[in-house]
Each structure stands twice: as structure tokens, then as C-alpha cells.
């Protein structure tokens, strides 16, 4: 069963709708003890990374999240939260993966935010992308990106600059795109995470 960290900055509705469609059981994580009820954890997130981090701190769940050994998936801003630092609000993040979240520069990238379908390319094999083809399109909405680092990047995307579309360190995974809005490929990724 999947636990969704409910801290007031996540796009819970579209995520839960996707999990329901897939027949994946889930519940909400509102307190430290709730983490024990689930085998896997999702940290969703939309909006401002600095504001989302403050909301997460206010829940008191940060020490528990950092100590988790079960699989954790951060989606969009949820992925940015597991990095060291975000230029959005010049905020310290959870510091789980030692990379930074940076702002797209309009003169290099096309339009900001990066919004819509874009291809991702696999940097390395990973169970999260089992049976998902290299060059598959996923749906993105973001103005900040996570720097490419071959040690932690599972897949990357190009939008004026090459950035990490998904990352991993130990049991922590992150995806910058929205799997819940990415059709069959996104549903496959959520199933892979659930398994």
C-alpha cells in the first residue's frame, strides 16, 4: 500500500485518481506513526518549492522522512524537496540527494515555465522505468529544474538545457514530470514504483 504525504502542497486529486484507475491502494500520511502503515511513500508537490518546504517543516515530519528506508517517490516539487537546495525562495531542502534545484534561464530555454509533453532519455537502467521505452514522452509543468548529475540521474530531458527528469539515491526516487498526467507511460511508472 502507498502512503501519500499530506502536507498541503501536493496535487493530491490527480494523483489519487491515477492510483484508483490502476487499482493501487493508498492512504494519507498525516503523522509520524502513519508511515508505519505503508510499504511505499509518495511526496507529491505543486507550486513554490520554498513554500512547500516550509509547510513540510511545519508538519514535524521531516526527521521521519529523512530516516525512511522504504521506497520513497517525490513527484515534481516533491522531487525538488529531496535535493539540497532550491533557487526558488533560496531555500534549504531536505538534503537527501546532494544536488541543486535551479531556475530555467529564459534566454537559454524557450518559454518558462516548461509546460507540456517532452521526451525523456534514460541515463541508466532502473526498475522505475521497467518496460518504458527510451525517448518516451512525459508531461511537465515547472519553472525550476534539477541539475544533471550522472551519479544520481536516472533519466534526463532537454529544454534549452539538459536536466534531470528523474533521480535516485538509495531508496529515494524523484521524477520532475507528472506521471499521473502522463498517460500510459506515467501509469506504468506508478505501477513499477508500487511493485
- Tell me the sheet residues that pair with 119: 137
Residues 6+ away with beta carbon under 8 Å from 123: 150, 153, 154, 155, 156
Task: Note the pLDDT of residue 112.
Answer: 85
Q: Which residues are catalytic?
A: 76, 178, 180
pLDDT tens, 70-113?
A: 999 999 999 999 999 999 999 999 999 999 999 998 766 578 88
- How far CA 13 is from CA of 19, 67, 182, in Å, comes to 10, 27, 15
Task: Note the pLDDT of residue 47.
Answer: 84
**Which segments in the chain show pLDDT lower than 70?**
107-109
Distance CA 108, CA 170 (A): 33
Q: What are phi and psi of 151, to 5 degrees?
A: -70, -35
Average pLDDT, the chain: 95
Task: Note the pLDDT of residue 108.
Answer: 62
**Quick one: CATH architecture of 2-194?**
3-Layer(aba) Sandwich (3.40)
Retrieve residue 81's grid coordinates: 524537496
Task: Note the pLDDT of residue 109.
Answer: 57
Task: Note the pLDDT of residue 8.
Answer: 86
Amino acid at each position: 500500500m502507498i502512503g501519500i504525504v499530506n502536507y498541503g502542497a501536493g496535487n493530491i486529486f490527480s494523483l489519487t485518481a491515477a492510483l484508483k484507475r490502476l487499482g493501487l491502494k493508498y492512504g494519507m500520511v498525516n503523522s509520524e506513526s502513519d508511515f508505519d502503515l505503508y510499504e511505499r511513500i509518495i511526496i507529491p508537490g505543486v507550486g513554490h518549492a520554498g513554500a512547500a518546504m516550509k509547510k513540510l517543516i511545519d508538519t514535524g515530519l521531516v526527521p521521519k522522512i529523512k530516516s525512511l528506508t522504504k521506497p520513497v517517490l517525490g513527484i515534481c516539487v516533491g522531487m525538488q524537496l529531496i535535493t539540497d537546495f532550491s533557487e526558488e525562495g533560496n531555500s534549504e531542502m531536505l538534503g537527501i540527494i546532494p544536488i541543486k534545484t535551479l531556475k530555467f534561464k529564459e534566454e537559454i530555454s524557450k518559454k518558462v515555465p516548461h509546460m507540456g509533453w517532452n521526451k525523456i532519455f534514460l541515463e541508466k537502467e532502473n526498475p522505475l522505468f521497467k518496460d518504458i521505452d527510451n525517448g518516451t514522452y512525459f508531461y511537465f509543468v515547472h519553472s525550476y529544474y534539477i541539475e544533471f548529475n550522472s551519479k544520481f540521474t536516472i533519466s534526463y530531458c532537454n529544454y534549452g538545457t539538459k536536466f534531470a527528469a528523474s533521480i535516485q539515491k538509495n531508496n529515494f526516487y524523484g521524477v520532475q514530470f507528472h506521471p499521473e498526467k502522463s498517460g500510459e507511460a506515467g501509469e506504468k511508472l506508478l505501477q513499477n514504483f508500487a511493485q
